[in-house]
Amino acid sequence: MSKEILKLKPQQLWKHFYDLTQIPRPTGQMKEVTKFVIDFGKSLGLEVKQDKTGNIVITKPATKGMEKAPVVILQSHLDMVPQKNSNVKHDFTKDPIETQIEGNRVKAKSTTLGADNGIGVAAMMAVLEDTTLKHGKIEALFTVDEEVGMVGASGLKKGFLSGNVLLNLDTEEIGELCVGCAGGADVNADWEFKDAEVPAGDVAYKISLTGLRGGHSGTEIHMGRANANKLMFYFLKEAVSNYEVRLSAIDGGSLRNAIPREAVAIVTLPEEDEKDFLKLVKEYEKIFKEEYKAVEANLSFKAAKTELPKTLIPEEIQDSVINAVIGCQNGVISMLTDFEGIVETSTNLASVKSEAGRISAKMLARSSSETRKDEICSSLESVFALAGAKVSIENGYPGWQPNAQSDTLNMMAKLYKDMYNEEAHVVVVHAGLECGIILGSTPGLDIVSFGPTILNAHSPDEFVEIDTVSKFYDYLVKTLENIK
């Protein structure tokens, strides 16, 4: 079924996207995909260079008559978020993505698709190989490891790029021209402990919260979707308080920038409390389904008897973790006043996981305001530090401040109206884009971000709307022709 996308138009773009789906490229595994891009550039006879971080620039000379046009940087990131449903056997380190067409959508079979940002990468490759286009000099910048703190963009050095205009191809709604984005930082909390013994007479249960929609913790944080970690710990707090439940293991969420979709806990409890405990599980499933009936149609909360674990998390650590997770701010914190409907500040309680002698919680804080980003990071640090955790704040990256006077923006807005007889929407997004970081290494850039419609990024429900891809690519080609 995967090769069906090769019949879609524009065929050059979809061919390159298909090739990308065959290369495992989760964040942190960039060797194979960077070699693929380097070999592609060299096969075209173009200048190719790679920096120490792994970022690649392929330079295409200006076409005849466009030699005096500003140098345009086209930019997309090579990595993808590896998310799958728990019942699917897929190894993102070696298995290709299996795509399928459903009506006007291209999606993957129970995994993330990688349209974020693979469609942007494929569009850049199509531009580089098409000798019929009109454009000034192009620097095609392929960054690495964007999804874990924008590592590639952060590693860019001054002088690596010479462009005047940056077109970032990582926005996910056709007709939107993005001129600003939020910055972010990771907040990590860790508890270390010595394992405790399982009380005599206890039985063990595996509690599973599954079927949540998850999604992108930037672009979809305002949609009211459930956070698996928050729901699991709401339940655990009552179960611990009323039924002598003890926590042995917890595995909730995965990636820092994905709203957690699943959480699993292993607990023990006195055998005489089994009946009441199972009744509580059913009650909470009913509560969760009622609270989220409008957005989480597939929510499931179940308990199944399991083998008794060898050890437990010490009671004082267990209680501290529960209180910290319950007290952790999650979701939208504030909205922008100048751009209606756009989130200013948010947090995502991305993961809570235990292993031998340790529990870790990871959060991603975002804000368009550097001071408010610092405030929310400080607030999270205080909550977890009061609960006895060792807290670190890492991978901070700046936001991208809007420039309403941008010449490129004004030209692109007019061009969109001329091409499609409709107004483009100028927006600031809450997701993190690499634009602000690239601006730091290449000052003075005039920047606009745009792309096709991609929904449910960072989740197995990710899809790209087929008709918007051709529209996006045609618009990109015309934009390059009109930057003079």
* Distance from chain centroid for Cα 51: 24
d(CA 285, CA 279): 10
Please name the amino acid found at residue 443. Answer: P
Residue 321 tokens, joined = 């973790």
> Residues with Cβ < 8 Å from 474, sequence gap 6 or more?
419
265-298 in b/e burial notation, b at 16+ Cβ within 10 A?
bbbbbbeebeeebeebbeebbeebeeebeeebee
Cα 439 to Cα 104, 426, 457, distances in angstroms: 36, 20, 25
pLDDT at residue 2, rounded to an integer: 76
* Distance from chain centroid for Cα 130: 31
DSSP 245-273: -EEEEEEE---TTEE---EEEEEEEEGGG
pLDDT in tens, the chain (484 residues): 579 999 999 999 999 999 999 999 999 999 999 999 999 999 999 999 999 999 999 999 999 999 999 999 999 999 999 999 888 899 999 999 999 999 999 999 999 999 999 999 999 999 999 999 999 999 999 999 999 889 999 999 999 999 999 999 999 999 999 999 999 999 999 999 999 999 999 999 999 999 999 999 998 999 999 999 999 999 999 999 999 999 999 999 988 889 999 999 999 999 999 999 999 999 999 999 999 999 999 999 999 999 999 999 999 999 999 999 999 999 999 998 877 888 999 999 999 999 999 999 999 999 988 899 999 999 999 999 999 999 999 988 888 888 878 999 999 999 999 999 999 999 888 988 999 999 989 999 999 999 999 999 998 999 999 999 999 999 999 999 999 8
CB 398 within 8 A of CB 183: yes
d(CA 125, CA 122): 5
3-class secondary-structure state, position 357: coil
DSSP alpha helix (H) spans, 302-434: 315-327, 370-386, 407-420
pLDDT at residue 249, rounded to an integer: 98
pLDDT at residue 381, rounded to an integer: 98
pLDDT at residue 418, rounded to an integer: 98
Q: For domain 4-182+400-482, give the CATH superfamily.
A: Zn peptidases (3.40.630.10)
Which listed CATH number (3.90.1640.30, 3.40.640.10, 3.30.70.360, 3.40.50.150) goes with 184-396? 3.30.70.360
**Any idea what DSSP says for residue 26?**
B
Which residue ranges make up each domain of the chain? 4-182+400-482, 184-396
Cα 124 to Cα 13, 78, 149, 474, distances in angstroms: 8, 11, 23, 12
CB 30 within 8 A of CB 54: yes
Residue 148 tokens, joined = 């874990």
pLDDT at residue 397, rounded to an integer: 87
CB atoms within 10 A of CB 237: 16
Which residues are marked as active site?
A: 79, 146
Rounded to two decimals, the pTM is 0.77
